[in-house]
Amino acid sequence: MARPKVGIIGNSYLINDQYPAHAGGTMNSEAVAEVADCMPLLIPSDPRFLSVDELLETFDGFLLTGGRPNVHPNEYGEAETEAHGAFDRARDAIALPLVRACVQRGQPFLGICRGFQEVNVAMGGTLYPEIRDLPGRMNHRMPPDGTLEEKFALRHLVKMTTGGVFHQLFGADEVMTNTLHGQGIKTPGQSIVIDGEAPDGTPEAIYVKDAPGFTLAVQWHPEWDAANDPVSRPLFQAFGAAVHAWAAGERPAQGLQKTA
């Protein structure tokens, strides 16, 4: 029997600064296939090629991946500045309405880094363009040098809400995570619950309150070494369980945040 299908939201970029391409990190596919036990399929995230309705009918769940381009500030009512960085407007046009549709339908998604920010913006929230420029905040960006192991190394604690969704999922109210992002939540969107924070107060774990399905998102990168990491593994396993349930025709009751 075929495994449930997870659509991995891809990023647009140029090969050798010339050739247009869509791409997604291999570690995303590894985590979906090996830990969530689902079939990973890359989505060319551009409304010229597909529609949100087609995606909803084709896939059982979605992985909203990280990516260098940021959500355009026009999507949350702010003007573009140099600090906001590069953008992928085609991905915005797919990912943001897809999040809203999944929340309404109860169709599972897992947001990572930019995907975390997309979930907040899709629900009406706003973002800071550069966390490290805020008083009292640490630099959450990826180190510019070093091996992949060094860049994705665990760097700071995330404190979970006691008794909350992520506390129950991880079996601990504090976990160590990597940090590879420049932007972060400024104001949470409608029904967005901040369920985990870094030591400097930066939101790191969220979900959509009273959504009928799996709507978890994290600001760090759990796809790194997901099969072995004690935090990443249960997160992808829970996501996989939700996707399997959706593929089997199960529809969670309104107001229940399914994590397994």
Q: Please identify every residue annotated as catalytic.
A: 113, 221, 223
- CA-wise closest residue to 75 among 125, 17, 36: 125
User: What is each CA distance from 75 to 50, 72, 110, 121, 166, in whole angstroms?
Assistant: 20, 6, 20, 7, 28
CA distance 240 to 33: 9
Nearest to 114 by CA among 84, 134, 146: 84
Cα 186 to Cα 51, 132, 165, 168, 202, distances in angstroms: 29, 13, 22, 26, 9
Please report where in the chains the tokens 């939540």 appear, as a residue: 185
Q: Tokens 């920010």 belong to which residue? A: 117
